[in-house]
């Protein structure tokens, strides 16, 4: 379980996250939505320990991340572009990631199979498509079989088969009790797979409710899209054709 309580983060004169509280429960598919600049990535970076909150607390399974010491089996992250040597093969990259995390290198083969990259294990990552790189990033997050996963736009670059594969992976993980916190702009997929939906705008939480409660705020034929637009109206930083 992830618990974020009263967290604020500022950069200079800009408040990126403003008194945010949210919970991602074990065995649930929790999505974090919002327009660009809403503060989603900043929240995820603070959960990962990459950024430090100015105020508030963040705990994973009841403890601050640093209090866990060894994070093997605790939490995995995929927060966008990762450092990769284009001359490394997929399996070399994952073995390197495993060694950095103190995880047995043999884990590389397991997660490659899990994300469907086993046939590409010995191919150079420099030649990977965006979808393949996305799967590789998810594989890195799965090293050590963590109980909690935090993923930023994991479906970005995936084709239809890849999106369906990711949907099934999420289903398997939540069935096992894994905590999933996922930032996404793919509203149709969120509508299908979410347990809980959190919507942010201008650094604040605008809505935090079970999926069906959020959908009830919208109208057919695309209820989540309708609800999202209603809730985020006035918080969008960049609008096409906007008059100044």
Q: List, for residues 43-55, the tens digit of each pLDDT value.
A: 999 999 999 999 9
Task: Return the pLDDT at 139.
Answer: 96
- Global pTM? 0.92
Does 9 sit behind a cis peptide bond, omega within 30 degrees of 0 on the bond before it? Answer: no
In terms of Cβ atoms closer than 10 Å to its own Cβ (0-12, 13-18, 19+), residue 83 is: exposed
The DSSP secondary-structure symbol of 204 reads: E
Q: Which of 94, 129, 145 is the last residue of a domain?
A: 145
CA-wise closest residue to 201 among 80, 40, 57, 48: 40
Domain count, the chain: 2
Same domain for 163 and 101? no
Sign of CA dihedral 72, 78, 81, 85: positive
Task: Return the pLDDT at 243.
Answer: 46
Same domain for 140 and 167? no
Supply the CATH number for residue 162's domain. Answer: 3.40.50.300
Dump pLDDT digits (tens) for 215-228.
999 999 999 999 99
| Residue 194: count of CB within 10 angstroms of its CB | 25
Same domain for 17 and 131? no
Same domain for 161 and 41? yes
**Residue numbers of the chain with a pLDDT score lower than 70:** 81-83, 237-244
Q: Which tokens in the block code for residue 127?
A: 């030649």
Q: Which of 145, 161, 178 is the last residue of a domain?
A: 145
Same domain for 27 and 102? no
Provide the residue range defining the domain that includes 130.
81-145
């Amino acid at each position: 379980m992830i618990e974020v309580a009263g967290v604020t983060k500022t950069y200079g004169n800009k408040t990126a996250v403003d008194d945010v509280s949210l919970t991602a429960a074990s065995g649930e598919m929790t999505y974090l939505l919002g327009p660009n600049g809403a503060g989603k990535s900043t929240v995820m970076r603070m959960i990962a320990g990459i950024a430090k909150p100015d105020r508030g607390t963040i705990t994973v399974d009841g403890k601050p991340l640093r209090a866990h010491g060894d994070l093997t089996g605790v939490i995995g992250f995929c927060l966008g572009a990762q450092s990769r040597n284009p001359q490394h093969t997929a399996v070399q990259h994952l073995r390197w990631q495993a060694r950095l995390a103190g995880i047995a290198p043999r884990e590389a083969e397991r997660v490659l199979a899990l994300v469907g990259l086993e046939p590409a294990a010995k191919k150079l990552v420099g030649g990977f498509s965006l979808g393949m790189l996305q799967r590789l990033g998810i594989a890195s997050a799965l090293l050590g079989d963590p109980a909690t996963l935090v993923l930023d736009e994991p479906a970005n670059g995936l084709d239809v088969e890849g999106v369906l594969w990711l949907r099934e992976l999420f289903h398997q993980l939540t069935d096992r009790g894994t905590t999933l916190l996922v930032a996404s702009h793919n509203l149709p997929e969120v509508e299908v797979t979410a347990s809980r939906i959190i919507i942010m705008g201008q650094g604040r939480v605008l809505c935090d409710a079970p999926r069906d409660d959020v959908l009830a705020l919208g109208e057919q034929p695309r209820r989540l899209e309708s609800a999202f637009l209603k809730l985020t109206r006035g918080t969008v930083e960049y609008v096409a054709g906007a008059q100044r």
